[in-house]
Amino acid sequence: MEQKQLLYLEQLSRLYPSIGRASAEIINLQSILNLPKGTEHFLSDIHGEYEAFSHVLRNGSGAVRKKIDDVFGHTLSNSDKSALATLIYYPREKMELVRKQESDMEGWYRITLYRLIEVCKTVSSKYTRSKVRKALPDDYAYVIEELITEKPEVLNKEAYYEAIVNTIVELGRASDFIVALSELIQRLVIDRLHIIGDIYDRGPSPHLIMDRLEKYHSVDIQWGNHDIIWMGAAAGQLACVATVIRNSIRYGNIDLLEEGYGINMLPLATFAMKAYADDPCERFVFKTTPSGTNNMENDLTRKMHKAIAIIRFKLEGQLIKKWPEFGMQDRLLFEQIDYEKGTVCIDGKDYRLQDRYLPTVDPQDPYALTQEEQEVIQRLRTSFIHCEKLQRHIRLFLKKGSMYRVYNGNLLYHGCIPMNEDGTFRKVNIYGEEYSGKALFDVMESYVRKAFFSKEDEEREKGADLMWYIWTAPSSPLYGRKKMATFERYFLDEEEMKVETKNAYYQLIDRPEVADRILAEFGLQGERVHIINGHVPVHRVRGESPVKCQGKVIVIDGGFSQTYRRRTGIAGYTLIYNSYGLTLTAHEPFVSAETAVREEIDIVSRREAVEYMDKRILVGDTDSGKKIQNQIQELKVLIEAYQSGRIAERDS
């Protein structure tokens, strides 16, 4: 036995100090391997739509309702099942309505408690008692465990359970107990949540989504380009700060900045009113107009919109010049403007500018900030880097997030693998070295983390600057388009100039050999492996399918964001991967929690199997199962070391 292995076994013996303890743990682990695989839940491109996101978490994309169907079959009517499902999603709100309508609340409590207990038994059956016990609410842990655990020693089980339920009702704790059971069901029905990018921008409440994810029991996040730009802003990168503010104003989300994160927008407002006092800023309109605003507020916001957009273009130009290896010189458009004629030259052709009023731009040095602009952006930067709540949310991205993840045979990433027209991986220059495929993802992730953790100022700066590149560059796996046509949308009328051509990946990904090449690059091979991503909305109204390449690729961006729904025809796709296979869910628009509770409606419009297993998947078939099998093997070696006398048993 090698010295290193012996040292490791010595450490392991501290946890399992005897043959008996090691043997007991092997038996425990072996039993876990034969439990059904836990349910995984996949969401993408949430874009600040907190209420819809919250509802989907509560209903598990239909998983809760399916458990109710499994438990009660035809013994409950559809209306009773819908009422029970709504209660589980919104227990407090639903009970408030029931109290106004129900004359016999004690009877209703008893019936409801029995039904919830049965659902609880089913959703907890695929977990060990230890795991269920950790999920139980502290106040009612013992009682719930008694109710959902089979007790063969109790001869009259019906009387036993009835006595417990009656006591709960008589003590006036039924309402609290129903809330506890409902939240436990929500907790147990999903074992792992995967967020495949773009929590931020467009919708009003990404900060509430992040608050919710901070408390979620098991989650991982694959960064999206809209997330990366917020991460860059939190790191203090000036172009990222300007972009985040511009995006928020564009989508009518100034409240997110001011109230959600406490970012002081007064310096920008004061500067904008002065610099663009006589400018109507008609091109700088909202994508989504905030409700409850008046003309004066809208006029000010348009001026702020233009002010921050010009600052952003200048800062981006500085970055492109600072890092020529980014290869984005074609986006140095301020240099291509003829300020006397009011035209801009793009790809050798002149276009008339529809807004020629650029008072802060020096034609001789177009990317230089004025003193006032410099003061504004620095004050905004200070607000971002000193915002405790934002920094806490970004720490969650760093702790739970990554550029990609390989999990239980699925490759998860937000956007694309940059590719050439011939299907080979595109080589991308990152600070003087070329990377492609998995290596490109890895080096980008390392630089993102350096922006927050490196002890070297130069490396932190490179990491922060690269986050802007990941947000917008043609060769970024999180963006993947030839250009971001923000300048063209503001200043030109020609629609063809606003087209953002996608990377070759999006035409090639329907080919099985391309999907197989990508999967193999990340170490996945075989029949039941998949790419799961988002970023590009699936237009169901045009007949597009989220399932591509004979089931190897699943794109689950279906329009969570309200701005996409007219194009997609739905309000988002989500994916469930349980022990029976993969199921895709299409969602209808979510109106409000109040409507869902009052009308007992859900937003699951259609569920369809993507891949159904002929044999139920067990924990032993998963990545966790492989780790458990390794643990079992290590414990067997430890037992052999005890038996051979190489290691002495310890006192327990």
pLDDT tens track for 507-523 = 999 999 999 999 999 99
Q: CA 319, CA 383: separation in Å to the nearest integer?
A: 22
254 is written with which tokens? 């100034």
Q: CA 436, CA 23: separation in Å to the nearest integer?
A: 47
What's residue 562's pLDDT?
Answer: 67
What's residue 427's pLDDT?
Answer: 97
pLDDT at residue 568 greater than cutoff 60: no
Q: Are strands 530-533 and 410-413 parallel, antiparallel or unpaired?
A: parallel
What's residue 564's pLDDT?
Answer: 58
Q: CA 485, CA 505: separation in Å to the nearest integer?
A: 20
Q: CA 388, CA 504: separation in Å to the nearest integer?
A: 41
Q: What would the mean pLDDT of 611-638 be, rounded to a whole number?
A: 93
Closest CA to 373 of 296, 486, 345, 365: 365
Q: What are phi and psi of 215, to 5 degrees?
A: -100, -5
What's residue 218's pLDDT?
Answer: 95
What's residue 556's pLDDT?
Answer: 87
Q: CA 228, CA 478: separation in Å to the nearest integer?
A: 9
Place of tokens 């100090």: 17
Residue 599 DSSP SS3: helix
pLDDT-based confidence at residue 611 (cuts at 50, 70, 90): confident
Q: What would the mean pLDDT of 502-510 be, rounded to a whole number?
A: 93
- For the chain, how long is the longest CA-to-CA vector? 95
What percentage of the chain carries pLDDT values higher than 70? 94
- Cα 313–Cα 339–Cα 250 angle in degrees, nearest 5: 35
| DSSP summary character for residue 194 | E
pLDDT at residue 610 greater than cutoff 70: yes
Which range, of 4-13, 183-192, 337-346, 478-487, averages the lowest pLDDT? 4-13
Which bin fits 112, alpha (ψ -120 to 50), beta or left (φ > 0)?
alpha
| DSSP summary character for residue 649 | P
* Verdict on whether the full-model pTM lies above 0.75: yes
Q: How far is CA 144 from CA 49, 135, 165, in A?
A: 34, 11, 10
Give every CB contact of residue 211 below 8 A, 6+ residues apart in sequence: none
Closest CA to 506 of 524, 494, 522, 518: 518
Which range, of 324-328, 489-493, 589-593, averages the lowest pLDDT? 589-593
73 is written with which tokens? 């079959």
Give every CB contact of residue 495 below 8 A, 6+ residues apart in sequence: none
Closest CA to 570 of 546, 600, 552: 546
pLDDT-based confidence at residue 559 (cuts at 50, 70, 90): low
pLDDT at residue 212 greater than cutoff 60: yes
pLDDT at residue 154 greater than cutoff 60: no
Buried b / exposed e over 54-87, threshold 16 CB at 10 Å, is bbbbbbbbbbbbbbbeebbeeebeeeebbbbbbb
Closest CA to 553 of 587, 529, 578, 585: 529
Q: CA 511, CA 455: separation in Å to the nearest integer?
A: 44
pLDDT at residue 256 greater than cutoff 60: yes
Other beta carbons less than 10 A from residue 95's beta carbon: 21
pLDDT at residue 546 greater than cutoff 90: no
Q: CA 266, CA 379: separation in Å to the nearest integer?
A: 10
Domain map (residue ranges) of the chain: 3-34+621-644, 40-196+534-617, 206-472
Residue 356 DSSP SS3: coil
pLDDT-based confidence at residue 139 (cuts at 50, 70, 90): confident
Give every CB contact of residue 539 below 8 A, 6+ residues apart in sequence: 567, 568, 569
Give the number of residues written for the chain. 652
- State the sign of the Cα–Cα–Cα–Cα dihedral 480, 483, 487, 492: negative
